[in-house]
Structure 1
Amino acid sequence: MRVTTKGQVTIPIHIREKLGITPDTEIDFLQEGNRVFLVKRKKNARATRRFKKLRGIATVKMTTDEIMALTRDNL
């Protein structure tokens, strides 16, 4: 495997499939002595929890204009 002039390498397909690496997957490079390891970055559980409680169906009977008026400062 070679590194391109842009510092890029191709991850072999069998490794991508085994690790579940798809386009836009975040990865990290870890250095231990003279070795470098590629690891799949864990999802940010905190961010996932923060937004998970906001998912669902809106139950408020308001128009879009009424909701937008609540989000804007009335100067």
Structure 2
Amino acid sequence: MRVTEKGQVTIPKAIRDRLKIGPGSEVDFVERADGIVEIIRGVGNGTRSKALLHEVETWFRQLEGTGDANLSADDIMAMTRDRGERNNN
């Protein structure tokens, strides 16, 4: 794909057809942390919040498995309570 002087690109017809993107459609592009750009269609009808939700879900998936697996729910609750007490003092 070639970018024009105005920064425009043409979305390939096969993708437009599959995503039901037609003349006048609202779309947005969301860059993921891994560098992949996703096309979000229907931005004008509340899809922007879906795009934000998708970004948050992607972020959580990236965090998955990075914590201390040896912590119990009680350990986490104790840490949370302790943090609140530290911030109030």
For normalisation by structure 2, the TM-score amounts to 0.45
Q: Which residue of 2 aligns with 1:11?
A: 11
**Pairing 1:40–2:41 present:** yes
TM-superposed deviation, 1:3 = 0.7
Q: Deviations over 1:10-48 (max 9, x none)?
A: 11111111111001100011011222211102524xxxx
1:1-75 → structure 2 map (5 Å cutoff): 1-33=1-33, 34-42=35-43, 43-44=45-46
Bigger Rg, structure 1 or 2:
1
For normalisation by structure 1, the TM-score amounts to 0.52
Quote the Cα distance in structure 2 between the aligned partners of 1:24 and 1:12.
16
| Percent identity for Structure 1 against Structure 2 | 45
Is the partner of 1:38 in helix, strand or coil? strand
Query: If each structure's strand is expressed as a fraction of its own residues, which one has the higher value?
Result: 1
Is the partner of 1:17 in helix, strand or coil? helix
Consecutive unaligned residues in structure 1, runs of 5 or more: 45-75
Quote the Cα distance in structure 1 between the aligned partners of 2:29 and 2:42.
9
Quote the Cα distance in structure 1 between the aligned partners of 2:17 and 2:36.
23
**Number of matched pairs:** 44
TM-superposed deviation, 1:9 = 0.4
Quote the Cα distance in structure 1 between the aligned partners of 2:37 and 2:18.
19
CA RMSD of aligned residues (A): 1.4
Query: If each structure's helix is expressed as a fraction of its own residues, which one has the higher value?
Result: 2
Consecutive unaligned residues in structure 2, runs of 5 or more: 47-89
